[in-house]
Structure 1
Amino acid sequence: MSTSPGRTDFASDNYAPVHPEVFSAMADVNVGHEAAYGADAATAGLDAAVAAEFGEHALAFPVFNGTGANVVSLMAMSPRWGGVVASEHAHIHRDENGAPERVGGLKILTVPAADGRIDPASLQSWAADLGDEHRAQPLVLSVTQSTELGTVYDLAALAALVDRAHALGMRVHVDGARLANAAAALGVSLAQACAGADMLSFGGTKNGAMGAEAVVVLAPDLRDSLATDLPHLRKATMQLGSKMRYASAQLTALLTSRDDSGDPLWLRNARHANAMAELLRDALEPLASAGVVRFAQATEANAVFVEMPRELAAQLRETYRFYDWQPGTAPQTVEVRLMCSWDTAPADCEALASLARAYK
């Protein structure tokens, strides 16, 4: 199926176009010559915006993509013999083609997470390897907020997990590809949605940017060393952009561009995407009540996970793109993921649900 211009799909929030305010911000910096590699006014503006959002100690390093942000973050906190504890569903484990291991040399150590969230008690299974020269050392915990299954760590759950990891001597990394969606769902700031973490992969692309992510150093005790070391690591891992002003302008727009109500763009985009996921779930509810489909996860951010007959999925896919997540609980069913974006409209949700409700 080829994507038709202007069509809304439910495959990924990466499918969505660039938000006009982000495009405008890029146009604003598209004037004349500027110093390359981050020595420009736009990147200085991003530094100020990140400090305002995450604290004056925070440092941001724009990179090309989320995988790059994750690999650079994890390498910055880990020696070559380090291991990274993560959910069995973690993007760094399942969807980055082994990049943390191939590029970073870091073993991924998974723990079960039925709903995407890691139980603090599960960290103990790897902590026993600390000091054993025959085992990868579990020195970093990577947490995804919101999770790969569309769920969100509330502030108490996140604090308990972070505290447990730190007590075991682990640093904490947050994969924040959809941090904005988590913060919007919780009604908190971006900083609160990743509170206690040492490093953050801050996502912009899924939240209306053209292509911009950032490694953000959050831990004050890492600031001085990584201010010196991380630029070299970013370059060595091929994540240093020459015309960085365009990436910086995108992220700054998400953080600082405000509407008449005073809400920043990241919040407006994420809140809308979350609301559309809730609307889509509500529109599919009659099918769940009738036993035709089954919701596989809570809908807490901008994703709806639903098990449905394979025949129904095939019919819907004639009109919309979306991904199969895993086999269903019966041979004739499949669990699919339906993602909503900043530009998803209520009519899009109703149209998909209407097609589904027509299934016989």
Structure 2
Amino acid sequence: MGLRGFGSDNFSGVLPEVFKALEESAFGHQHSYGEDKYTEKAIEDFKQIFGDDIDVYFVYNGTGANILSLSAFTHSYNAIICAETAHINVDECGAIEKQTGSKLLTVPTFDGKLSLGLIHNHMHGFDDQHHAQPKIISLTQCTELGTVYTHDELKEICDFAHAHDMYVHMDGARLANAVAYLGCTPASITKEVGIDVLSFGGTKNGMMFGEAVVFFNTTMSKEVKYIRKQLMQLHSKSRFIAAQFSAVLKDNLWLKSAAHANAMAQKLANAAEQIPSVSITQKVEANEIFAIIPREKITKLQNECFFYVWDEDAAEVRWVCSFDTTENDVIEFANLLRQELC
């Protein structure tokens, strides 16, 4: 491997502030299973962002966060509506259906975003004992195609869901990138539009490990502590997840890191779209770029600077920038693209 790759924001290391927080929390004894001062502090940090009327649960990873979120709102006879490209459908090895027992009802989309028109396709079979009962809509922000839901788009879906006695989950593995792109407050595209539960990402934005589940609909979170234990997502030394969150939430570090990743993606997209044989396929609204490039050049480019193929049939690839992507990384990769593709 030559250049630093653009495969995933999971490839990146750890923010120095996070590493320092882990080091500082490593000494001495604290109560276990969340009854420690670090967990208490991190929960207060989340309340500074979203208000006091929330419940926060820390988990190991994104799949665990999504399962815990959706398990709180569903029974095994329910169904979950999501985009066909959703992480819960494509990249979690059937975990949602196995662990919740609920059926995923997927919707094909061009840009990864659900709309009322698309959701309507699955709004039938209510009160029919032969039909899985739709109960929750899962949205990804940012979407798996790097696009971002606006405040109005989210509110329209949440209002619709609640009018039909349904709930809305947000997979916010890259929520920070969406907030940075929109220039809004985190609450304005989650709690204030009617999101019931949020999987709040940490790992893709500079943490070593750990995610958070934030319940805005706290009437549904009363038994979540038991579900988390059964799902093997209760960390005995919870302080090591909590301390990281306090570090990234302090002084809006999580948003600054995401804004940098977004800016690097835009810089790379601007350079790549000047190459005639490159076609950018999605709006670059966060830290991901999707592009069609000459098929015969993909392997050689990957050997020089790794990235993933998104759609084999279309020769569509994905480039992802991270909090630690540098301008020099972008310039070197753009030069490589020009060298190989022009």
Q: Same fold (TM over 0.5)?
A: yes
Tell me the SS of whatever aligns to 1:110: strand
Greater CA deviation, 231-240 or 246-255? Answer: 246-255
In structure 2, what residue type is equivalent to 1:250? Q
In structure 2, what residue type is equivalent to 1:208? G
Whole-angstrom distance in 1 between the partners of 2:66 and 2:270: 34
Tell me the SS of whatever aligns to 1:343: coil
In structure 1, what residue type is equivalent to 2:288? A
Alignment match, 1:355: 336
Q: Say whether 1:249 aligns with 2:243.
A: yes
Tell me the SS of whatever aligns to 1:188: coil
How much has 1:172 moved relative to structure 2? 0.4
Tell me the SS of whatever aligns to 2:273: helix
How much has 1:315 moved relative to structure 2? 2.0
How much has 1:327 moved relative to structure 2? 2.6
Alignment match, 1:233: 227
Whole-angstrom distance in 2 between the partners of 1:347 and 1:193: 33
Whole-angstrom distance in 2 between the partners of 1:308 and 1:163: 40
Whole-angstrom distance in 2 between the partners of 1:122 and 1:96: 23
Deviation by residue 1:266-291 (Cα, 9 ceiling, x = unmatched): 1110000000000000111211xx2x
- 1:105-184 equivalent positions in 2, closer than 5 A: 105-184=101-180
How much has 1:8 moved relative to structure 2? 2.5
In structure 1, what residue type is equivalent to 2:30? E
Alignment match, 2:323: 342
Contact between 1:183 and 1:192, CA under 8 Å: does it hold in 2? no
How much has 1:328 moved relative to structure 2? 4.5
Q: Say whether 1:317 aligns with 2:302.
A: yes
Contact between 1:50 and 1:59, CA under 8 Å: does it hold in 2? no
Alignment match, 1:197: 195
Tell me the SS of whatever aligns to 1:286: coil
In structure 2, what residue type is equivalent to 1:64? Y
Contact between 2:77 and 2:133, CA under 8 Å: does it hold in 1? yes
Whole-angstrom distance in 1 between the partners of 2:67 and 2:325: 31
Deviation by residue 1:6-48 (Cα, 9 ceiling, x = unmatched): x631000000000001111112211201111100000000110
TM-score under structure 2 length normalisation: 0.96
- 1:87-106 equivalent positions in 2, closer than 5 A: 87-106=83-102
In structure 1, what residue type is equivalent to 2:214? V
Whole-angstrom distance in 1 between the partners of 2:106 and 2:265: 28
RMSD, matched Cα? 1.3
Alignment match, 1:299: 284
Contact between 1:142 and 1:173, CA under 8 Å: does it hold in 2? yes
Structure 1: stretches of 5+ with no match in the other structure: 259-263
Alignment match, 1:216: 214
Alignment match, 1:43: 39
Whole-angstrom distance in 1 between the partners of 2:5 and 2:134: 39
Alignment match, 1:280: 268
Alignment match, 1:269: 257
Whole-angstrom distance in 2 between the partners of 1:328 and 1:298: 20
Whole-angstrom distance in 1 between the partners of 2:322 and 2:257: 8
In structure 2, what residue type is equivalent to 1:346? E
Contact between 1:274 and 1:301, CA under 8 Å: does it hold in 2? yes
Tell me the SS of whatever aligns to 1:318: helix
Deviation by residue 1:292-334 (Cα, 9 ceiling, x = unmatched): 01111110000000000122222211111111001344xxxx1
Whole-angstrom distance in 2 between the partners of 1:29 and 1:296: 44
Deviation by residue 1:177-208 (Cα, 9 ceiling, x = unmatched): 00000000000122223231000101000010
Deviation by residue 1:110-152 (Cα, 9 ceiling, x = unmatched): 1122101101122222221221111111100000000000000
| Identity across the alignment (%) | 43
Tell me the SS of whatever aligns to 1:14: coil
Higher relative contact order (CA 8 A, sep 6+): 2
In structure 2, what residue type is equivalent to 1:216? V
How much has 1:232 moved relative to structure 2? 0.4
Aligned residues: 339
Contact between 1:123 and 1:165, CA under 8 Å: does it hold in 2? no
Q: Say whether 1:52 aligns with 2:52.
A: no
Structure 2: stretches of 5+ with no match in the other structure: none
